[in-house]
Structure 1
Amino acid sequence: MRDETDELTYTEVGATDGDMPAGYHRFTLRRPIGRGRALFERAGAEIMAYRMQKGTGIFHIADTPTAEVGTSLAVRLGVGPFAIEAPCRVVYLLRETNRLGFAYGTLPGHPEIGEELFAVEYDPTDDTVYGLVKAFSRPGAWYVRLGGPAVRLLQRIIAGRYIAALPTTA
């Protein structure tokens, strides 16, 4: 695990909770996962326990069992000897009436530079619960730069898997 004094690799901390900054690849994926306040609460608790990362098989380690501001964590990207450990730090939590989740930002050694939000949203007008992944990033390593559009496609595929890892019933 990285030293707690490691600085984030970008300055736009928290920007996934508003207008994302220029100069980055940006995307938002929001999909319905079911209905009801109970599902919203359950999915929110699962997100805070890193269910999205664990459900895709990329979760490696975290300093805390649930997301807290300042938690250092790492995901493993790739397979076997070709896997890369990607260190991150939780930069903010969403604990609102109709939004729950957290965002993490990249630390030195991560192949990308940026931030990613993992959340669930509840729409009280029709009782729908949505999974949400929102991110901005740019290459932090030569091989990500070389991967270009393939890397961005892979990010979108993984974002879909993050949402698919959420519960769909209360």
Structure 2
Amino acid sequence: MNLNTDRIDNDYTKLQNHIDKLYNNQNNIINKFDLLTKNVDDMKRIISQFSEKIILLEDAATDRRKLSNEIKSLKSRVDELYAIVKDGKEESVKSDDVHEIDSCHSGFSCSSKVTMTTGLDRDTIREAYEDVRSDNSPTEWAVFKFEGARIVCSARGSDFTEFRTQFSDDDRAFGYLR
């Protein structure tokens, strides 16, 4: 009987050791699973941050394209104004004395043959420009604003402090000073 008891004790000890190993393996698996879950959560957070940054970069690129298109449009309108001024000079002086007027931003000269768009109030702009240039006139400044697709002379005057009040933060405008 002692032999039987020893064998049972030995089997019991083996079984207990086997259960302990299983318990340790189970704890290791649970710990590794917890670590893996934490790593997956960290990856989700990092991917989410990357997604947000990509969206911001796409928005910035879209804004940059819109701004670039608007700048091109404004440059074109300024070139048209230079052409108007040049046309006015051509009408008032001999053609030998006329020089090409260079745009301050494009590096290209404006020709009097430039096709004008219908969005320019050409006569009013020329009149305001000549009024400011004239030594006989008290007019010292003129303000040109964009009204929709049109460039118009919105104001003229002789007091510089009044000139500064013509511009607000949301206006797209420029001025001409003597």
Say which structure is richer in helix: 2
Structure with the greater relative contact order (CA < 8 A, sep ≥ 6): 1 or 2?
Answer: 1
TM-score normalised according to structure 1 size: 0.23
Question: Could you say which structure has the larger radius of gyration?
Answer: 2
TM-score normalised according to structure 2 size: 0.22
